[in-house]
Amino acid sequence: MSSATFNSIFFNQGCLWKQEVKISKIKHQNEKSRLYVGGTGALSVKCSQATDGKASKREKEVRIGLLGASGYTGAEIVRLLANHPYFGITLMTADRKAGQSMGSVFPHLITQDLPTMVSIRDADFSNVDAVFCCLPHGTTQEIIKGLPRNLKIVDLSADFRLQDIAVYEEWYGQPHSAPDLQKEAVYGLTEILREEVKNARLVANPGCYPTSIQLPLVPLIKANLIEHRNIIIDSKSGVSGAGRGAKEANLYSEIAEGIYSYGVTRHRHVPEIEQGLSDAAHSKITVSFTPHLMPMSRGMQSTIYVEMSPGVTVEDLYQQLRITYEEEEFVKLLEKGVVPRTHNVRGSNYCFINVFPDRIPGRAIIISVIDNVVKGASGQALQNLNIMLGYPENTGLLYQPLFP
């Protein structure tokens, strides 16, 4: 077969185009698919056709390299990209699982047409335009500093989130080997720093706890509605937040039928949270923060206790959050009195927030929920890459929450 007719469907800036195109030049062919180029007039097309009749998902406009594909956040990127019309995965890496297929490591993704995972040492970036880096902190900086400069990168680890190298070294207990890249990196808390993300080459995707905490607090601090002292944050996370690697503390028998606090007084997200809140306040803010591990696989809730500025009411806090987020697709202020639940956002890129009066006059209680693997990691990462590459921000992210 040397030519083909395609009923081509194009998504362009939210519009759907459908047109029959005859094209004849085969650019590339292997046992699984053919890639055609050509078209007539104003319509220039690049279409792929699998020889078994299914369209290949890899031949899309942007070629994605997924580093750490065999982990939880890597698998979640694959799930989200399954419905992305522009991004196709051309490279996937793993460490212990190098050489394996995605379907063998994550059978729920067996329907996806994906390359075999290779070791980072064997990775070829010549067919890659942008990278999601889903690797442990420490390892990440060593790998990113060796990547070609033409790549757009969203890093899900903590390696480039802290502006001050000394703070990183203190809290992560290791030297930083790529300080220049740390200076270049833009912190990707999308709804707050969208303009900076637009022009970034390297985005440091926020941690899951800092995302759930900064989204409600930053607008309130910027509007001078809450006091900078006595901010108390109690957060709870699903176990997937700890990654897929086997750890004694994350065994079923250690997690089921109970909860436990960890990182008490010294969790490594404290400096990241304080950095974001202090930037919003233009003065140093410190917080009391205690995370807890919950017997659930995904989901995160932060319950935040704040003191309101003199004369400010809970209604003022509510209205400020309403104004800040009314045009936002993924951050939603619930109706007054409705308590956000992790169930409300499971599997989605949403952050749901609400604010309540405390029984103690002058204080308020804020509740924020996200899915730690989506808005707390892979979803926000995809939101950021969409913005960096000029695509509609919600592309590939329109999953509704899975309830119950």
Ligand X SMILES: NC(=O)C1=CN([C@@H]2O[C@H](COP(=O)(O)OP(=O)(O)OC[C@H]3O[C@@H](n4cnc5c(N)ncnc54)[C@H](OP(=O)(O)O)[C@@H]3O)[C@@H](O)[C@H]2O)C=CC1
Given the complex with ligand X, which of 225 and 331 has the nearer CB atom? 331
Amino acid at 56: S
Under 8 Å between Cβ of 112 and 101: no
Q: How far is the CB of 172 from ligand X2W (least distance, A)?
A: 9
CB 293 → ligand X2W: shortest distance, Å?
Answer: 5
d(CA 396, CA 386): 9
Instruction: Determine the Cα–Cα distance for residues 394 and 399; give it in Å rounded to an integer.
Output: 10
Q: Which is nearer to ligand X, 48 or 73 (CB)?
A: 73
Name which of 106 and 325 has its Cβ closer to ligand X: 106
- Compute the least distance from the CB of residue 241 to ligand X2W, in Å: 3
Closest contact distance (angstroms) between CB of 250 and ligand X2W is 8
Toward ligand X2W, which CB reaches closer, 88 or 291?
291
Q: Where are the beta strands (DSSP E) in 137-284?
A: 152-155, 186-187, 202-204, 231-237, 260-261
Options 133, 134, 208, 351, the catalytic residue: 208
Give the nearest distance from C-beta 291 to ligand X in angstroms: 12
CB of 94 to ligand X, least distance (A): 3
Cα separations in angstroms, 250 against 139, 145, 237, 376, 389: 22, 32, 12, 19, 37
Please state whether 38 falls in left (phi above 0), alpha (psi between -120 and 50) or beta: left
Residue 322, C-beta contacts closer than 8 angstroms, at least 6 positions apart: 333
The question of whether 15 is a catalytic residue gets the answer no
Residue 163, sorted as left (phi over 0), alpha (psi -120 to 50) or beta, turns out to be: alpha
Of ligand X, ligand X2W, none, which one does residue 96 interact with (CB within 5 to 8 Å by kind)?
Answer: ligand X
CB of 68 or CB of 291, closer to ligand X2W: 291
CB atoms within 10 A of CB 20: 8
Q: Is 360 exposed, middle or buried (0-12, 13-18, 19+ CB in 10 A)?
A: exposed
Binding-site ranges for ligand X2W (CB under 6 A): 137, 157-158, 207-208, 237, 241-242, 291, 293
Residue with tokens 């085969």: 26
Query: Judged by CB, which is closer to ligand X: 46, or 244?
Result: 244
Instruction: Give the HSE-up count for residue 133: Cα atoms under 13 Å, Cβ half-sphere.
Output: 28
Contact partner, 63, from ligand X2W, ligand X, none, Cβ < 5-8 Å per class: none
| Interacting partner of 291 out of ligand X, ligand X2W, none (Cβ under 5 to 8 A depending on kind) | ligand X2W
- Report the residue number, 156 or 353, with the smaller CB distance to ligand X: 156
Q: Which does 77 bind (CB under 5 to 8 A by kind): ligand X2W, ligand X, none?
A: none
Half-sphere exposure of 184 (CA within 13 A, CB side): 16
Tell me the residue number closest to ligand X, measured at CB: 71
| Contacts to ligand X by CB under 6 A | 68-74, 94-97, 120, 134-137, 139, 156-157, 207-208, 240-241, 243-245, 372-373, 376-377
Q: Which does 71 bind (CB under 5 to 8 A by kind): ligand X, ligand X2W, none?
A: ligand X
Token pair, residue 227, equals: 């006091």
Q: Among ligand X, ligand X2W, none, what does residue 97 contact (CB within 5–8 Å per kind)?
A: ligand X
The pair of structure tokens assigned to 196 is 């900076």
Q: Least CB distance from residue 360 to ligand X2W, whole Å?
A: 30
Instruction: Find which of ligand X, ligand X2W, none residue 293 binds, CB within 5 to 8 Å per kind.
Output: ligand X2W
Task: Read off the tokens for 289.
Answer: 């923060």
Active site residues: 208
